Amino acid sequence: MRARTATAILLGLAGMTAWSWRGVAPHSSDLPPADELLAAAQTSPNTLIVDFRDDITDQALAARGYVDEPISRFSATDRMYRIRFRTPQEAEDAASKLRADPMVESVDYDASVSLFPEDWTPTAPPVDAPECARDNSPGVTGTGFPNDPCFRYQWHLRQIGLPAAWKLGQGRGVVVAVIDTGVSRVPDLQDTRLVPGFNFVADNDKTDDDHGHGTHVAGTIAQTTNNARGVAGIAFRAAIMPLKVLSSQGSGSMAAIAQAIRFAADHDANVINLSLGGPFPVTPVRRAIEYAYRKGVVVVAAAGNDGRGRVSYPARYPDVIAVAATQWDETTTFYSNWGKQIDIAAPGGNMRVDQNGDGKPDGILQNTILPGGARTGYLWFMGTSMAAPHVAGIAALVVGAGVTRPDAVQVVLVDTARKPKPVSSTRGRRIDDHYGAGIADAGAALRKARSARGAASLGLGAALSLLGLAGARRRERFGGAGVWAFAGALVLGSSGLFFLPSLGAPEWLCNSPIGTGALGSAALLLGPAGQGNPLLWSALLPVSAVALLYGARSLRPALAGLAFGVAGGLLFAACAYTADVRLVPDVLDRAWLAANALLAAGLGALVLRK
């Protein structure tokens, strides 16, 4: 009994060691410098954005004597309004008065936001449509995976470890909110799932792109892939939530961005991409990011294209993964901002060079609308706006692999970032203010999120089963077939055959319930509804199986193995704190997971007894 107990403990410790968990604090954000606050006031000196308490009544608003202009229809619930004044002095006097009002949460000048310079103006002609259009003739369509004919120009996807990483995950069941100029269903997004979003510019449900930037960003994240057409996207099984906050000129309001972030968090987005920004802090945006983070949403933002040592907002805020841009040779680009808030780097491209010698500019290639919106094409853009969706796409892959808490996703991304060629450094450690932890690596991130997590879950499940066997004085004895049934159910309940990709198994098998295990298959089977579902992240599966099948004595080994396996997966999620359980307060997530792990383990021990 002692030997079994010692073995159980060692297996559990080995499992946790395989994960190599260590926390990463979100980057710090100093208080906004006085010059930034002054500059913000000067950009729109006559207009304020006022965020009242959500419980303020219409009568109380009217009693304050201001003409409160809604940002969108959501102002009726979040109580955020724009107030215009005739002179800057009137606005300044009102701001002082409102900041002293107990029913006011924040007062800011109405700073505008825009697309960063460089990244949205195509400086090279688009790829000819026939070259990237669907065509199964030899020499046009690729012969491997993916078979998209213009994938050969997407050096940027190979820089982050694709297509090899796709065997480990493709983002199924994940929703990525693209807060940008909208998203149009161009030909190479035909099979990509779009979920309902909102247009905060026109205050309606029409989220088509009238610029091109948002569609290009969405393509990097989830362009339809392996469809013998065009180009590929990173998390091509993920869904896109289009949230239009920028006009056809690429400008908009920070207040609308704040509302869009809250919309995404309230409508089950898992990841938010913000390929936009400005030099000024706006309190409602910071508060919206904090709100989304608390609700389990990963927020990714572009660092800015000023080529200076000051990261733009909102990337500069804590709880945001700030992304710098690299080019083909893995140096950071001439335009990429830098600073201590940079978390990671990813391909942003440099259209002024052709370092790889393919005869094309080294930009980021995706299918989008051409300026004016009348036609579509395959265009190269460059900028940190293009780098951010590479990280958002990898984050979607990690979330799809079962690591759903924002801080845990950041740990995976940072710990697995690889050193760029020009830098001598070790993986997972901060390099400098230009790269952060290094270049995002989809394959390494998925291996940590899935393979190492699978080994840890299996180790803990095996440890719990040995403890259960050691604690049962009189237990079921089963023959060879029963042993195999127990072991197989233990594996499927905890981790699945997580090692299949290393054995060269086909992608469909690696990303099936057999390859991902009971907990990992939730999103595969149920889509976004399976991410963090409290019924699935619980002991419900083994409890239901035992309730229905306990009477069949021959199935009891499998039932016990399933219970211990699920217990191992839940216990790992509780210890490593990787899963955000929906509808359960953050402070209770670990308690929920641990309690259900103990319930499942206790059930397994009960099934083993005669």
Q: Which residues are tagged catalytic?
A: 180, 213, 385
Q: 419: closest CA among 326, 320, 349?
A: 326
As a whole number of Å, the CA-based R_g of the chain is 26
Alpha helix segments (H runs only) across 163-249: 213-222
Cβ neighbours around 353 below 10 Å, total: 14
Distance CA 459, CA 398 (A): 21
Residues in the chain: 610
Distance CA 504, CA 254 (A): 48
DSSP one-letter string for 15-69:
HHHHHT----PPPP-PPPPHHHHHHHHHHSTTEEEEEE-TT--HHHHHHTT---E
The β-bridge partners of 204 are 199
Cα dihedral angle (58, 61, 64, 70), rounded to 10 degrees? -130
Is 471 strand, coil or helix? helix
Distance CA 99, CA 95 (A): 6
Distance CA 228, CA 245 (A): 33
Q: 552: closest CA among 482, 464, 474?
A: 482
Q: How far is CA 352 from CA 325, 382, 547, in A?
A: 15, 10, 66
Q: How far is CA 413 from CA 17, 196, 391, 403, 504, in A?
A: 18, 28, 8, 11, 24
DSSP one-letter string for 404-422:
-SHHHHHHHHHHHPBPPTT
